[in-house]
Amino acid sequence: MGFLPLSYRRPEYVDKEEFQPINSIVTENEESNASLKSGSSRSSSGIPDALTFDKVMSGATCPPCTIRDFMNYLLYVEHAAENLQFLLWYRDYIRRFNRADTLYTDLSPRWTQAMEDETAAKIQRDAIDRLRREPQTAITIPKGTDFEKEVADVVAVENKNPFSTPPRTPSVNDASSCRSGSQVSGYRTHIQDVFSAAGTTQPFTVQPFRAELNRIIATYIMVDSPRQLNLSSRQRKLAVQALAHTTHPSALRSVARSVEDTLRRQAHPNFIRWSIGNGNRSRACFAQVMGAATVGISTVGAILLSLSGANRGWRVLFAVGWTLGIATMVAAGKGMCVILHGMHRRHVRPWELFDCSTTDVTPPSEAPNEEGSELEEGRRNGAGTSLDSFGSSNSYEDEPWVVRYERRNVVRKVFDREVWVQEPALRQIQDVIFMQSVLVGLLGAGVLTAVFVSVPAGRFF
């Protein structure tokens, strides 16, 4: 692991509402070529090689940058855990399909690029023909009347398409996102309607993993599904028609590419940026207030000393306060507390505070998991709900820690539990940011010192 320069900058924040994933169809050559490397994308600048997306996914990182931490970030902060849940299932499905007996896998032919192009073109032609068949008569309705509202309701009902583009993440107040486990288990009653709406016939039930892929459709692809992916109408129809033809993993390669691209170029840089902060929001605000107070007290002291008859040299002493105050404010602006950083510790996340599995508060003595079994490790440590491929929606408002953390007073939040920062690459990033903050503090203190030293003594007292 190389050293980071002092000119290092954190990864830029990527707004998920403005991010546009790659929606183009993947060729078979691109499928086998790892063209989306974290270090090669523009939005991933500022991420060292030890914290790339592939390192996190393979389990080669330490807390707080493991795949479990990534999942918790997507679940509780980004509110888009379905992307990682689907990708973990897809990669595991490829391994299981390739290990299965060829006697059964031969029943599921590969979904080739030519078949995908032909299906995409057919979907496009059907959409154009449907628009041509629709009546083009314009209806003039007076605005602000009850007729306008009734017509809008009728149009909304008629235009309801099971493959319409959904919002990025199901809303908490959306009734469809709060389905119970019994509702999800009844997915079979909706699968037939999904295939019919996509304009395809019912699939062959003798194909391997057919029941599992039906659950994938009901969990991730179908509109209003518990973990609905942010797919376009074209991607949704294309995936369903491909799955109606075969259960080969290539049927979902375009969906997997879009999901992985979102994780690599949007979610992962935001996760690393968020992980750099070692304190919670209350601690960061507290550090900024203390830094501003230190700068203010030092400035008031320098003003009083300038108005007195004391020697000018005494004013240099306030440079210490200015340096500490400015450095504290700069670091706190990036989510870091200099006191916690001095001990290489971080605050425990709110969802970890009441988790009995988070008990390690001493520096680790074991190496990170090198076998890529973070999925099983996360399940053993209590993250099985979010790491499971199937389940209800990713709503966490009913989890016990939410209410208990809200009841904690500000003082307890400022001085929450601390744990050791185990990831060496993250500690190195924090060291560089700390040095940058100190240099900014020294520069600011030098300017203020020069100003106050150059002012002649007032000799008022």
DSSP string, 412-444: HHHT--EEE---HHHHHHHHHHHHHHHHHHHHH
Give residue 373's pLDDT. 41
- DSSP lists the bridge partners of residue 345 as 420
Collapsed DSSP state (helix, strand, coil) of residue 280: coil
Give residue 205's pLDDT. 80
Task: Tell me the per-residue pLDDT of 312-356, one tens digit each, with 9 for 90 and over.
Answer: 889 999 999 999 999 999 999 999 999 999 999 999 999 998 864
Q: What is the DSSP letter of 165?
A: P
Q: How confident is the model at residue 186 (pLDDT cuts 50, 70, 90)?
A: low
| E strand residue ranges, 285-411 | 345-347
Q: What is the pTM of this model?
A: 0.79
Collapsed DSSP state (helix, strand, coil) of residue 10: coil
What tokens appear for 361 in the block?
A: 């508060």
> Rounded mean pLDDT of 142-159?
49
Using only the alpha carbons of the chain, give its radius of gyration.
28
Give residue 310's pLDDT. 87
CA–CA gap between residue 190 and residue 179 (Å, rounded): 14
Sign of CA dihedral 207, 211, 213, 217: positive
Q: 419 — phi, psi (to 5°)?
A: -135, 165
What tokens appear for 157 in the block?
A: 């009902």
Asked if residues 384 and 166 have their Cβ atoms less than 8 Å apart, the reply is no
Give residue 3's pLDDT. 82
When mean pLDDT is compared over 18-22, 23-27, 222-226, 347-351, the highest value belongs to 347-351
CA–CA gap between residue 328 and residue 94 (Å, rounded): 49
> Rounded mean pLDDT of 110-129?
88
Q: Which of residues 97 and 22 earns the better pLDDT score?
A: 97
Instruction: Report whether the peptide linkage leading into residue 203 is cis, meaning its omega lies within 30 degrees of zero.
Output: no
Give residue 134's pLDDT. 67
Give residue 188's pLDDT. 64
Give residue 135's pLDDT. 59
- DSSP lists the bridge partners of residue 418 as 347
Q: Is the pLDDT of residue 236 over 80?
A: yes
For the chain, give the percent of residues with pLDDT over 70: 75
